Structure 1
Amino acid sequence: MEDKTQFRNFYGRVRGKTLRNSQKTYLADDLGAVQLRGVSRDENPERAKIDPKAIFGTGKPLWLEVGFGGGEHLVHMAARYPQIDIIGCEPFVNGVAMLLGKLRAAGVENLRLYPGDVRDVFDVLPDQVFAKAFLNYPDPWPKARHHKRRFVNQGYLTELARTMQPGAEFRIASDIPDYIRQSREEVPQAGFDRINDSPTAWDDWFSTRYEQKALREGRVPHYLTYRRAAA
């Protein structure tokens, strides 16, 4: 039987503007050292589970950022919290290249990335591995017929919930009112309790280029905090 999961595409395009020579160098020279292994379908066609402790070899608490964009928040968190390890997923090649440039400057070592669909990561991880997760300024998919592609639907959220520890925190930042509406409706259904709903960001928030663009264009950011309910 044909495996339709091979043809996942919730994120639209994977390339934008032509990469600068420096960004091409980052991809060629730096990606291999920080890329998650055993996650892609080429490397793991049987979708065998991987040991999350083996990713970093540290046993530290593990965090996740879904769609890290240019990587500003992801690198900030890795640098601010050296006592944790963090994984970032992003299918957009330009964003991956930008992150790699920031990594060179920051020199952090507690970060790994997967340049693809976060569901590939969910596929190969056991239950209850993440202590915190972030969804910052996700693609809003504004047309109603595309709302099923938003991360905040049960197809994504149930897998996120499965891989999060009881009591783990899930943060969402968006400037799109309808995305916040859908988050309020869908996230609790997946097994999360809402603990904060505010126009004020978290104390350790690092504003991204997407947020700065939203502010320049007059859109108001909003921040949701959820906690994974006990199974």
Structure 2
Amino acid sequence: MSGETKPSHPTRQREAFFGRLKGPKLRERQRRLIEEVLPQRRIDLAKGPPSQLRDLFPVTVDEIRLEIGFGGGEHLHHETGRYPETGFIGVEPFINGMAKLLGALDDAPRDNLLLFDEDAVTLLDWLPTASLSGVDLFYPDPWPKKRHFKRRFVNATNLDRLARVLKPGGHFRFASDIDTYVNWTLVHCRDHPAFSWIAEGPFDWRTPYEGWPGTRYEAKAKREKRTPAYLTFVRR
């Protein structure tokens, strides 16, 4: 497809935690942004991880956060503006979602944001140990059928990956409107020795995160009468 970019490192079989990679045909502006702007922000795994992850950013950053599967980028773009001294890495293999975020960046640039458009686990395995202060996973594909549960991103292996790259005291935040996935995540994080759920009552998981701008997926969930849950786990 015109506008599709080449991988920046040797590919491997993806672990299938997400579905389609392409949606409707990109508009001309979106195609141009994918071709011309994305390569300037894309993390190149072929170069190997730097000794200090902050060295990848063109501006000085105090800490680094990761958002996995940012969708249309509403939350990620919002956070980069709120915290200009924090470096952000956004992962989204869905080309139309990436194009939407690039459009927002074209209108309101952010120098503290890097992007990755392939499988998040590839990036997680590349990142230096204890290099992140936070990881966000909002409204991931729920894979609602039982036979597809193995494709959910939250599992013991990926929690091991998150535990390795998060600093002690770092946060893993998970939001979803699918009850079975919320319960699934609570159980998996409860059983993992590196994570503790920081909640003292229902208010803690029914209230959106501080400064939360909302997302299109959340708006759809509310229209369809599904109640989102906002979970926060701390890396021990």
2:199 maps to 1:192: no
- The Cα shift of 1:15 comes to 0.5
2:20 maps to 1:13: yes
- The Cα shift of 1:157 comes to 1.2
Contact 2:190 2:197 in 1 (8 A): yes
- The Cα shift of 1:53 comes to 2.5
Aligned to 1:215: 222
Opposite residue 91 of structure 2, the aligned amino acid is C
Distance 1:106 1:212 in 2: 23
- The Cα shift of 1:12 comes to 2.0
Aligned to 2:167: 165
For normalisation by structure 1, the TM-score amounts to 0.90
Opposite residue 209 of structure 2, the aligned amino acid is W
Structure 2 unaligned segments of length 5 or more: list them. 1-10
SS in 2 for 1:160: helix
Q: Kindly, what percent of the aligned residue pairs are identical?
A: 43
- The Cα shift of 1:77 comes to 0.5
For normalisation by structure 2, the TM-score amounts to 0.88
Distance 1:21 1:213 in 2: 27
Contact 1:74 1:88 in 2 (8 A): yes
SS in 2 for 1:198: helix
Task: Identify the match of residue 126 of structure 1 among 120, 123, 128.
Answer: 128
Aligned to 1:56: 57
Contact 2:61 2:85 in 1 (8 A): no
Contact 1:151 1:157 in 2 (8 A): no
Aligned to 1:68: 70
Distance 1:189 1:67 in 2: 24
Distance 1:64 1:145 in 2: 29
The Cα RMSD (Å) is 1.5
Structure 1 unaligned segments of length 5 or more: list them. none
Contact 1:50 1:124 in 2 (8 A): no
Count of residue correspondences: 218
After TM superposition, the structure 1 = structure 2 runs for residues 3-152 of structure 1, keeping only pairs within 5 Å, are 6-8=12-14, 9-37=16-44, 39=45, 43=46, 48-51=48-51, 52-56=53-57, 58-152=60-154
- The Cα shift of 1:56 comes to 1.0
